[in-house]
Structure 1
Amino acid sequence: MHAPADSPWSGTGLDPLTGRVLEHLVTVPAADAAEVAAAAEVSTADAERALRHLTDTSLAVRIDGPVPRWAAGPPRTSLGVLLARRRAELARAEGLVERLHAVYETVSGARSAHLVELLEREDEVSARYGQLLKGCEAEVLHLAKPPYVTGFGVDAGKPGVADGVRMRSVYETEGFSDEVSLATAVHGTGRGGELRLAPRLPVKLVVFDRTAALLPVRADRPAAGSLVVHSPALVEALAALFESAWAGAEPVSLSSRTDAPPPACGHGASPPEDTGPTEAPDPRTREILRLMATGMKDDTIARVLKVSRRTVQKHVSDAGTRLGARTRFQIALLAAERGWLGASQGLGEVVVGQ
């Protein structure tokens, strides 16, 4: 019988009864089994079993005679040997644990490498993102919220996705005001991407063809690294998360507004005329156009910029006249192409999943 964890003898491997017997023996020169049984308040048979254990472990010595007696050995020496033996056993057990863990990590690492990748450096994230984006054949699903990490862009004019790949993005409205996110989203919409706004998003995320997903390790520190998820079950769950956010988001399109645009090109409508190079507008107009590109209505823009609604409408109307655009959507698209919303951004530069 082994000592319970709270027994002072648990570290030696002695059970409580054997420990009590030893405690008694060190108080007397020698004792027989009956005396030990009386002192420990146990049966003689139990006392004899404990005494045999002490003898086998060299903690006590049997003195033969008409009635056998037992004497304790020097505790420091005898118990020191026992503890040294226990330490050696623990060391061997620790070595076995380390060997087993090494094998486990080797096998599990190989098994899990295709399920989740950890990217710790920004250049790793950038390179892996580019590979996944260029490898897409069907669709890219994209949840975007601040803080953003820049520097993932593909060269201007070289789209990061193949023709025919459907791009759907949901931007968090609160963070949808910097030049990179505005211009990228508007330009992406012009290339056939679909854009929606939501007041709050649960996570930054990019899902590639529903076979891989990219998301940050830390939501508040995108530079801390990212995870590439390949597990089919996890990717499916993340795609479902996107679809839920997409369903609850508001389309950034004039199709849901009173000033809805005419049918898109290819469905009976002609694109707005390109009037050629046009001088960039003043900073106030640029700011109004940037906010308009997010899907904000005139009243909201007026409140944000602390100007009247009529002022907003005049700036938008003037910009449309200069661009030769007939609708607000066309104004936003042409303004982005002219660089009025900031540096020109390609669809392949959308890296909000980071």
Structure 2
Amino acid sequence: MIPDVSRPAAGGLLDGLGIPEPEQAAYRRMLALSRTTVAGLAADLGVGEERAARLLAALHGHGLVHRHDDPPGDWSAAAPDVAVEALLLRREAELLRTRGRVAELMRAYRRGHEPHAADLVDVVTGQDAIAGLWRRLQEAARHNLLMFDKPPHIVRADTAVERELLDRGVRIRVVYEAGSVNAPGRLAEIRDAVAAGEQARMLPELPCKLALVDDRWALLPATTGAELTGAVLVRASTLLDALGAMFAAYWHRGVRVADTWSPADPAAERRMELLTLLSAGFTDDSIARQLGVSPRTVQRWVREVMDSLGARTRFQAGIQAARAGLL
């Protein structure tokens, strides 16, 4: 029985190659014939000659039939092991090219379904531009300003700006890296800021410079290095949430810079400074530079503090000081 090419059959042998069932039926019929003509194929399939000619042209385009010149007008089927294999190879190449375009399609999809990256992150280059952006962020702060203070610095801390923020009710919390406090007199500046209302802690090392303004922005260096030439502004996103969680983790590990001092008791003040610097990981030489004394004097003071706290090591001294509420 000749297949009805007007209705597609389920499960054609060449469906996987994208060949319509009418063309498959014509090819299967031609496989049983050594040669045929347009008229002969039309009669075998029960279709008009115009329809048969279109089927042969389509099969010829797939490489499944050949047209003969002698006698002219004869057609024959190509051997399946060669013709179908060639179609398979072309199909595989097309699928590989399509797979390579999935990433392009996904970019188009994300543009329509997700916030654009430019809406979440900006890159600012040049020290003047970074300093200007930092000033604008400080002016925009309403509730919280959280910072990792780590070298390098492109502008010196402005105590007037900080006091204005504190007067507006902005809560300021800063974790200082030991390297940020090495300059003589820097610890005294931090003490003044703490006295004005800043909450400060210190650690030997921080992962990066960072500023978080409310729950709206974060500013951090674009790259690591000795010179700050580029910065990244992050807006509200999961990345901003992650940076906030990182700040909280380091804040809880930091050594508190005390907000109660006794100017009338220089020995108590010196003891507090010494304990703070020791617990933050400062070396004797760094402490000496900070306090304006010799390393030998620092060593003597450290021994006195350790003896008074009953500590055998600097680490134990820090723990004992924290337990005693001295830090």
Please give the TM-score of this superposition, normalised by the length of structure 2: 0.49
TM-score by length of 1: 0.46
Greater relative CO, 1 or 2 (CA 8 Å, sep 6+): 1
Q: Per residue, is there more helix in 1 or in 2? A: 2
